[in-house]
A = this chain, B = another copy of it.
Amino acid sequence: MQQSMAIQHLLDEFERLPGIGPKSAQRIVYWILNGSKESAESLANAIIDVKGMVHFCPVCFNYAEGDLCSICNDDRRDRSTICVVCEPKDITSIERTHEYNGLYHVLGGAISPMDGVAPDDLNITELIGRLSDDTVKEVIMATNPNVEGETTAIYIAKLIKPLGVKVTRLASGLPVGGDLEYADEITLGRAIEARREV
């Protein structure tokens, strides 16, 4: 062991992070060692703050700092539409498109018998609760386009439809800017099935 204990410990801590291998961890640790004490403290404090200040929004289960999350709290959002996603990070992806101005509902996962995730483990009751008055006209199922996501979307759609609320699903098809040659056969099959007149 030629490495200092504190350096080795920090290397180990960074290597635990997703997408960080030994080489990246080393680069980051040497960057911290070369940088100012303030810069290191700023990073450390930001990590502590995020765990102390962030909790789940009691309405939509997005990450929130105040009582409600910034989206539920925003009067300019269209309250007649709820977009249902698996994880809070999916909200970030959808917000980045600037195509959606409604509310969200985070399930906290997808139904997956293989991983032991049953409908009761997800925030589905809370979603149904949000449809009790007549405010919401449409629920967009934006779960992932894989087996678990599809299962979850179908399961929830069956619960919602009797309430007279429209349920839609994100379109499947070819990625924009993609190449037919590189499309997998299931995606291409979906794109043919869902073809539209031009």
Tell me the number of copies of this protein.
2
Task: Indicate if the CB atoms of B31 and A18 lie closer than 8 Å.
Answer: yes
Complex interface: stretch among A36-44, A136-144, A174-182: A36-44
A80 close to chain B: CB less than 8 A: no
Output the least CB separation between A23 and chain B (Å): 9
How many interface residues does A have (CB within 8 Å)? 54
Q: Is the interface of A mostly helix, strand, loop or mixed?
A: helix
Output the least CB separation between A111 and chain B (Å): 19
A37 to B20, CA, bound (A): 20
Complex interface: stretch among A2-10, A123-131, A187-195: A2-10
A173 close to chain B: CB less than 8 A: no
Task: Indicate if the CB atoms of B13 and A53 lie closer than 8 Å.
Answer: no
20 other A-B residue contacts (CB within 8 Å) besides A1-B70, A30-B89: A2-B70, A3-B70, A4-B63, A4-B69, A4-B70, A9-B46, A13-B42, A17-B28, A18-B27, A18-B31, A19-B24, A20-B24, A20-B28, A29-B50, A30-B88, A33-B50, A40-B48, A41-B51, A44-B45, A44-B48
